[in-house]
């Protein structure tokens, strides 16, 4: 009897040990075993999220909050015949110029319950008709309130009730590595949300706009996204998607957005006055290079050198001369032409401002009263 009990206890111990080993190292072997219930095979499935529960790491809330306020913009332009389009020789070389209207696609962001929409100037430039399509499928005719080619921004207005609006975020608090979403209508396929991070800040000298201070992102931005929203993980607007660097015409992970801080200033100016008023001093600035420094006898290596001054302009009246190096505008330090343009543009016309200038190693402070920046000529993109 003792022997049988010993064999039983040893067998039970071995089986229990084997069970614990399998449960620890290969638990799926135990979970995958089908069980027969009422003649049918019932499979054991992995637990999922409860209905309405947000998966960890999901950006669904940000996308839902912002998407309703992002619109698609369809533009059309009446075909304009050339004066010699009926000439046989013109037709021979250039073909028959048809009367088909030209169309374009872009995106926009509703920023006010009154129907104001921010988009890019190049989306609506020279358009004869503008149609705005909301995310809830409503359509409306868009009216251009104002455009600002210098920043490539434009403001439209639609007349509809119960419009969704986006919350304006703080682009000045952005840091490289922050998560962002790009929302728009790429290639006209319909509203699309892509995600990425902030790749760089303060991008300039790209030759896109006069005033450049772009947010760079790797969130996929494609043709048709222009004028759409770049938002943070709370769905707040950080920028207006504007351009991409591409060799193929599609996204290559380098996209640019105008910060919402700039867009807000343009929006307020266009809605209030129909134009954006910027400061202007009438100079021809250049980045300080060794060649220019040698030509003008300059011994400093920081700042912006002035190579030309408009006669009777604000800078000339204040005493600024060719060869002067502007080092500071008010409290803002100046390192390149882009910073100088931005600093001068932010000045209020008529308000005197101190300019720190280096003239042949002599430090001067000249008081300049800026004028109103002339309207730019139509940009060619």
Catalytic positions: 122, 152, 226
Helix/strand/coil for 128: coil
Interatomic CA distance for residues 52 and 55, integer angstroms: 9
Rounded to whole angstroms, the Cα distance separating 173 from 232 reads 11
Backbone phi, psi, residue 197, to 5° = -130, 170
* Sign of the dihedral defined by the CA atoms of residues 262, 271, 229, 69, in that order: positive
Measure the CA–CA gap between 293 and 291, rounded to whole angstroms.
5
Task: Compute the distance between CA of residue 122 and CA of residue 149 in angstroms, rounded to an integer.
Answer: 8
| Per-residue CA distances from 40 to 31, 34, 47, 191 (Å) | 17, 10, 21, 44
Sign of the C-alpha dihedral computed for residues 202, 203, 208 and 210 taken in this order: positive
Instruction: Report the b/e string of 230-264 with b at 16+ CB within 10 A.
Output: bbbeebbbbbbbbbbeeeeeebeebbbbbbbbbbe
Dump the DSSP string for 227-294.
T-EEE-TTS-EEEEEEEE--SSSS--S-EEEEEHHHHHHHHHHHHHHSS---EE--EEEEE--HHHHH
CA 40 distance to own-chain centroid: 56
How many Cβ atoms sit within 10 Å of the Cβ of residue 35?
Answer: 9
């Amino acid at each position: 009897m003792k022997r049988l009990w010993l064999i039983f206890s040893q067998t039970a111990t071995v089986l229990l040990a084997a069970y614990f080993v399998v449960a620890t190292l290969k638990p799926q072997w135990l979970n995958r075993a089908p069980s027969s219930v009422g003649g049918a095979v019932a499979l054991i499935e992995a637990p999922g999220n409860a209905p309405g529960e947000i998966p960890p790491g999901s950006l669904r809330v940000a996308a839902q909050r912002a998407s309703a306020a992002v619109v698609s913009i369809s533009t059309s332009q009446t075909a304009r015949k050339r004066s010699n389009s009926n000439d046989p020789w013109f037709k021979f070389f250039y073909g028959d110029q048809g009367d088909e209207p030209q169309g374009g696609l872009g995106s926009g962001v509703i920023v006010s319950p009154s129907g104001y929409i921010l988009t890019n100037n190049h989306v609506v430039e020279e358009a004869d008709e503008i149609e705005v399509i909301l995310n809830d499928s409503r359509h409306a005719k868009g009216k251009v309130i104002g455009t600002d080619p210098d920043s490539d921004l434009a403001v439209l207005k639609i007349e509809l009730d119960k419009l969704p609006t986006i919350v304006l975020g703080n682009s000045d608090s952005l840091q490289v590595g922050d998560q962002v979403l790009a929302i728009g209508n790429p290639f006209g396929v319909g509203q699309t949300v892509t995600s990425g991070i902030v790749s760089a800040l303060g991008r300039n000298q790209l030759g896109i706009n006069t005033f450049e201070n772009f947010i760079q992102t790797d969130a996929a931005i494609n043709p048709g996204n222009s004028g759409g929203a770049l938002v943070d993980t709370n769905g707040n607007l950080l920028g207006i998607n504007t351009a991409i660097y591409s060799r193929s015409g599609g996204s290559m992970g380098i996209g640019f957005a105008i910060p919402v801080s700039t867009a807000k200033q343009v929006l307020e100016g266009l809605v209030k006055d129909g134009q954006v008023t910027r400061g202007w001093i009438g100079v021809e600035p250049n980045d300080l290079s060794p060649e220019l420094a040698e030509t003008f006898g300059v011994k400093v290596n920081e700042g912006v050198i002035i190579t030309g001054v408009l006669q009777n302009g604000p800078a000339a009246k204040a005493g600024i001369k060719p060869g002067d190096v502007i080092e500071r505008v008010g409290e803002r330090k100046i390192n390149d032409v882009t910073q100088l343009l931005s600093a001068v543009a932010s000045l209020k016309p008529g308000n005197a401002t101190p300019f720190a200038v280096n003239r042949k190693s002599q430090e001067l402070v000249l008081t300049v009263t800026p004028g109103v920046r002339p309207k730019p000529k139509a940009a060619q993109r």
